[in-house]
Structure 1
């Protein structure tokens, strides 16, 4: 039996755990104001840097919001956005972009197939609306990460599978950040933006034509292509940092 040493959690992780537990138990309710940074430092007996790191994580998890000049407040969350262990992992783990794309290939390829079988008129409208916004952003040379995200989310929604949609919701915030950073690098190549748009449009056409196999294949090809670009970017970053 191989046992690994137990690592002591980072200080800010313990702070996040305590505050999230207070929210889950109802001791902190939507609209409640958290104590000031100074008060939290005194209560937890930790540094101000740890408190700030914990609050940043709580904001990313969607549990609290910072109101300028007022303080930090507990947010109202619904069943679709409730924080799960997976969401918490995505917040605290670093360098998970490639693993995220591996997960996307598992989830979104299947979602594309289900969407081709189950999508209704509203689903098609949502996909087309995202594509039209993507097309406009392309002409304006904008990154277009928001309509990109909306398009993929519309496909997951069109699969009409609550568990699959919940998984996409959980990955949503991390996916948005990943799309923004990746697209800024991909846009360095002149033909890439148009190529990405064409790939999305072809996926939409396959789903609209109820072609399950083609929708799945096109989605897989698209995600593999983006994943390969991401790998090249990571290698380039490593080379640059080495100099």
Structure 2
């Protein structure tokens, strides 16, 4: 009889499963407050970003409730929604948000450098138009998601490498998934949008003058700041 192959799991899903089991066993009773994110990371021997991704997954499933300024509370010992798929490589929508951000820092910084070297007039116009759309969305007090995606995709288009374009598009599939959306509910707000727009402008400025090194640094700075915003203390998240 053949032995079934064990399916690997993303780390945040492993952590979420450990926490599910603790809730089901009564270790963390319904209504109780979970230990702080940093304490969970120490107890489980993992990074805080991985714990945050696991907590977001559990909130999407209806098992916990994040009360900004108070803590994270057990809402149910059983998922109210179907558990996220457990196979690695299922869909970008289930990639861990902070892990995606780390990958974007590496990849898109080089994409921006290539765009500075290869962008044509039509590419520059597409990047400018996307940034203008971001500004218009923010002015309407909307999350500038469409303009943001168009901006990064236009830069990837300008870099001249179809594999990198496809990679950036897959990053955005993840960006539009349920985990990213819930994280954005907490840490995206008008001040963060304006900061992102300013950072995008610096990227565009560097690409317009064909300065690859400046474009690389500007994109790296932007994505590191974005990662930092998503990693902020829950207590600093605006009340929803």
TM-score by length of 1: 0.57
What is aligned with 1:203?
203
Structure 2 distance, partners of 1:92, 1:141, is: 28
What is aligned with 2:138?
138
| Alpha-carbon contact 1:114-1:212 (below 8 Å) kept | yes
* Structure 1 residue ranges without an equivalent (≥5): 11-51, 58-84, 238-243
Question: In proportion to residue count, which structure has more helix?
Answer: 1
Q: CA offsets per residue over residues 70-123 of structure 1, 9 Å max, x none?
A: xxxxxxxxxxxxxxx986253455xx1111011101110000000000000111
Residue 117 (1) aligns with residue 83 (2): no
Inter-CA distance 9–105: structure 2 relative to 1 (3 Å threshold): closer
Structure 1 distance, partners of 2:134, 2:94, is: 31
Residue 90 (1) aligns with residue 98 (2): no
Structure 1 distance, partners of 2:194, 2:94, is: 34
Structure 2 distance, partners of 1:149, 1:230, is: 17
How far did residue 139 of structure 1 move?
1.1
Alignment partner of 1:155: what SS?
helix
Alignment partner of 1:141: what SS?
coil
Structure 2 distance, partners of 1:183, 1:112, is: 24
| Alpha-carbon contact 1:115-1:207 (below 8 Å) kept | yes
* Structure 2 residue ranges without an equivalent (≥5): 10-80
| Alpha-carbon contact 2:98-2:230 (below 8 Å) kept | yes
TM-score by length of 2: 0.58
Root-mean-square deviation (Å): 3.3
